[in-house]
A and B are shown apart, each in its own frame.
Chain A
Amino acid sequence: MTEQTTSTENSVDQQHFDTLIADDSRIEPRDWMPEAYRKTLTRQVSQHAHSEIIGMQPEANWITRAPSLKRKAILMAKVQDEAGHGLYLYSAAETLGTPREVLNEQLLSGKAKYSSIFNYPARTWADMGAIGWLVDGAAICNQVPLCRASYGPYGRAMVRICKEESFHQRQGWEILYELSHGSKEQKQMAQDAVNRTYGPALQMFGPPDADSPNSQQSMEWNIKRFSNDELRQRFVDMIVPQAEALGLTLPDPDLKWNEERGHYDYGQLDWDEFMSVIKGSGPCNVQRMQRRRKAHDDGAWVREAAEAYAKRQMQAAAEAAGSADDNEEVSIVAGRASAELIGA
């Protein structure tokens, strides 16, 4: 193939891709796509997956200390959902061509990033409330537009995730509601958790638009639909009345309704701290990674056992196939296995 044919083919491919994007259609895994589009998405979707996986830790920390059996069951269901979200997203990321073990290795080696909100500790039970309300709340705000992301598998994963997130946010809000309507100490505990979580939750939308150089390209590709600041504003406008309904305040002296803009004004966030947490100096960065690596290592024997079992089953099935005619019992077992496979 000459160089010229390649570039002609590429431009036809590129045109087809551009048309799909211009029509606000979807790109599917086996479509041609620009390398930069593939790279951007692989990074974004896998970082998103890593965030769900690491994001289990602050809440898992409180499962054994939940104040009631009901709260424990709720928290376990939520943490299990987050594991599920991670798997939906890894599954979407893999369709872009990077195998799971590579993605996993990127997380374990510390090469890949995850959302820096999870590098803060969950100090009290009230943090379970603040995380659900503000962290999952910010995530929803971010994720709803991603349901229309131009990459099909990513959008579909987001639809599935968003359906589950509203339970997360509501259960968190309700934890805070119970506490803020409890004793003075309980209300203070709720307020403290909100005070700690507010700033980092607002930073989940990423740096201010002026400092977010890659956003423009993502918006042109219909991956991102709204800018960081637009989404942050939307979130602030939503949580102010929600905080009022809780009887709690948000720790921002500059927070006030701006009649002219029709939005709440809010104060400067601490972006130096944000950058330092991203770079690894947050209160829990080291702990989160250690915990993740340990969980992976501790699970090795389970993976090995499952694999050894699968291999033996396959050998048995092969032997059974070889002597199927004179071994009725084995062929019944094999028949049952394939019936299960097709859901018969």
Chain B
Amino acid sequence: MSENTTGNWPLWEVFVRSSRGLSHVHAGSLHAPDATMAVRNARDLYTRRNEGTSVWVVPADAITSSDPDSKGGYFESAQGKSYRHATYYTKSEGVKHL
């Protein structure tokens, strides 16, 4: 993480697990000087009404994302591969539990 001047704290992305058995889901972001403060602020900001049982914070600049300029092309490879889905296989219609 880089050096920061006052009021220019790093950005943290916040993920909240809304209840046991569910994944953490992105809730938003916040600025904080360090991870401990980020977790505390995330609790105050994103879970004022029992919205969470657990919070993750991740430095925003630690996240690597898929190529934003590909306009979906990056994810198109599955098209034309309908055989990856169960619905592709029709011979078994009427056969139970299959």
Q: Which residues of A pack against B, CB within 8 Å?
A: 16, 30-32, 77, 80-81, 84, 87-88, 91-92, 94-95, 99-101, 104, 153, 156-157, 160, 164, 300, 303-304, 306-307, 309-310, 313-314, 337, 340-343
Contact = CB atoms under 8 A, between A and B. Distances in A.
Task: State the 8 A-B residue pairs at the shortest beta-carbon distance, nearest first.
Answer: A30-B68, A310-B34, A310-B33, A343-B54, A306-B33, A91-B29, A91-B28, A307-B33
From DSSP, what is the main secondary structure of chain A's interface residues? helix
A87 B9 contact: no
Contact of B56 (A32, A92, A341): A341
A341 B34 contact: no
Contacts of B39: 340-341
A234 B37 CA distance: 43
Given A30-B68, A313-B34, A343 B28 contact: no
Contacts of A80: 48
Contacts of A343: 17, 24, 54-56
A30 B39 CA distance: 26
B7 interface: yes
A56 B21 CA distance: 37
B77 interface: no
Nearest to A83: B45
Contacts of B68: 30-31
Interface string B57-75: 1000000010011010000
Contacts of B9: 307
B34 A309 contact: yes
Contact of B57 (A92, A310, A313, A341): A341
B65 A30 contact: yes
Nearest to A306: B33
Contacts of A91: 28-30
A77 B48 CA distance: 9
Given A91-B30, A314-B34, 8 more contacts: A16-B71, A84-B45, A94-B11, A304-B6, A306-B33, A306-B37, A310-B34, A343-B55
Please classify how large the interface on chain B is, using the bins under 10, 10 to 19, 20 to 34, 35 or more. Answer: 20 to 34
From DSSP, what is the main secondary structure of chain B's interface residues? mixed
Contacts, number: 72
A153 B28 CA distance: 8
Nearest to B56: A343
Contacts of B57: 341
Given A16-B71, A341-B57, A84 B35 contact: no
Nearest to B57: A341
A81 B7 CA distance: 22
Contacts of A88: 28, 45
A42 to B, nearest CB: 16
Contacts of B54: 343
B8 interface: yes
Nearest to B53: A343
A32 B72 CA distance: 13
Nearest to B11: A94
Nearest to B39: A340
A84 B36 CA distance: 19
Please indicate which of the listed interface residues B8, B11, B29 has the most CB atoms of chain A within 10 Å of its own CB: B29
Contacts of A32: 69
Nearest to A16: B71
A4 B24 CA distance: 45
Contacts of A31: 68
Contacts of B29: 91, 94-95
